[in-house]
Amino acid sequence: MDARGKSDTYLPILWKITAVKSLHTFVGLGEVLWDVFPTGPRFGGAPANFCCSVASLLNDQAEVWMVSAVGDDDLGERAIRSLQENGVGTKYMQVAPQATGRVDIELDDSGIATYEFAEDSAWDHLRWNPDLQRLASRTDAVCFGTLGQRNEATKQVIRRFLAGVPETALKVFDINLRPPFFSDEVIEHSLQLCNVLKLNDSELPVLRKQYQLPDSAEQAIRTLADRFDLSCVVYTCGADGAACLRDDRYTTVSSEPVEVIDTVGAGDAFTAAFVAGLLANTGTEALLRKASRVAAYVCSQPGATPKGILL
């Protein structure tokens, strides 16, 4: 154990991606909300978790911005403060008349979460403005999912933002399926807009059914990459490890051993580490292993953005 009480096993997650140039711009686009556990609320939302993890891993080597909306309420103020305390810029956050988003979370005996989302939340009502156009034009990596597109207003803002980023930008679709808040149309259009896809072993069967994909995970991923001209597909399988199709090469790694407290936010942290490594041109196997270490650490701690990773 170190002086902060963290196990030495997880010290390698505090890796520095020194090859990332100063002031690369990362954007999280979509939902900001509070994860309400039986023990109380914790800040969350997949794109927000992504931003917090990127800001932690890259420190002052990047600009990290969250684009979403909160309500004019106590949870909204706390959400803005949480982003700022974790090094995420809030200049592009908006205030909506609706309440700040929340999701009630239950954990089973294995730490696996189930979610019940409040409907018609502030993040469903994002509005387009010229500042977002300017941010899009200088974005190096943007992460979005399906949940943020459950309402037409925010869905259109997300699509307009993605259309405005440079051709060289990483447009990362972390599919993040939360029934019933997705549709075949949202998945299809998002796959057309992205160039990097991240999905897990509970989400691949949904795509397999929608697109009649092969039974083999590798062949299914290759089929998706070919159909949607994806430069990279990353696939996480929990205890069974992770895989990546990149430059037509399929690479797999085993999982990191971990005593799971809860899995909330682990996939978002994996995505953050993976995307930062892509911008740094890190080798695929090393990148998968580092991202897996980050995810394992998050699984070993309560909540989506544990302090051990957000130094």
Q: What is the pLDDT of residues 21-63, one digit of tens each?
A: 458 999 999 999 998 888 888 899 999 999 999 998 888 789 9
Number of domains present in the structure of the chain: 1
The Cβ-side half-sphere exposure at 64, using a 13 Å CA radius, reads: 27
Question: At 277, which CATH number?
Answer: 3.40.1190.20
In angstroms, what is the C-alpha Rg of the chain? Answer: 18
pLDDT digits (tens, 9 = 90+) for 165-195: 999 999 999 999 988 999 999 999 999 999 9
- Judging by DSSP bridges, how do beta strands 33-37 and 101-107 pair with one another? parallel
Answer yes or no: is 180 within a domain.
yes
Residue 307: pLDDT band with limits 50, 70, 90? low
Answer yes or no: is 311 within a domain.
no
Residues 237 and 225: their CA atoms lie apart, in Å, by: 18
Identify the weakest region by mean pLDDT among 62-66, 237-241, 297-301: 297-301
What pLDDT does residue 215 have?
A: 97
Residue 13 has pLDDT above 90, yes or no: no
Answer yes or no: is 115 within a domain.
yes
Residue 114 φ/ψ, nearest 5 degrees: -120, 150
Residue 151 has pLDDT above 50, yes or no: yes
What pLDDT does residue 265 have?
A: 65
What pLDDT does residue 262 have?
A: 63
Residue from 282, 265, 194, 261 nearest 39 by CA: 261
Residue 7, strand partner residues: none
What pLDDT does residue 296 have?
A: 81
Residue 9 has pLDDT above 50, yes or no: no
Give first-to-last CA distance, the chain, whole Å. 16
Name the DSSP class of 255: P
pLDDT digits (tens, 9 = 90+) for 200-212: 999 999 999 999 9
Residue 69: give the domain boundaries: 20-299
Answer yes or no: is 4 within a domain.
no
Helix or strand or coil: residue 88? Answer: coil
Answer yes or no: is 9 within a domain.
no
Answer yes or no: is 306 within a domain.
no
For 55, 139, 171, 172, 175, the CA distances from 192, given in Å and listed in that order, are: 28, 19, 10, 11, 13
Answer yes or no: is 14 within a domain.
no
The Cβ-side half-sphere exposure at 104, using a 13 Å CA radius, reads: 4
**What is the arithmetic mean of pLDDT over 103-109?**
83
Answer yes or no: is 305 within a domain.
no
Identify the weakest region by mean pLDDT among 76-80, 92-96, 259-263: 259-263
The mean of the pLDDT values for the chain is 88
Report if pTM > 0.95: no
What pLDDT does residue 18 have?
A: 44
Residue 260 has pLDDT above 60, yes or no: yes
Residue 19 has pLDDT above 70, yes or no: no
Residue 118 φ/ψ, nearest 5 degrees: -70, 140
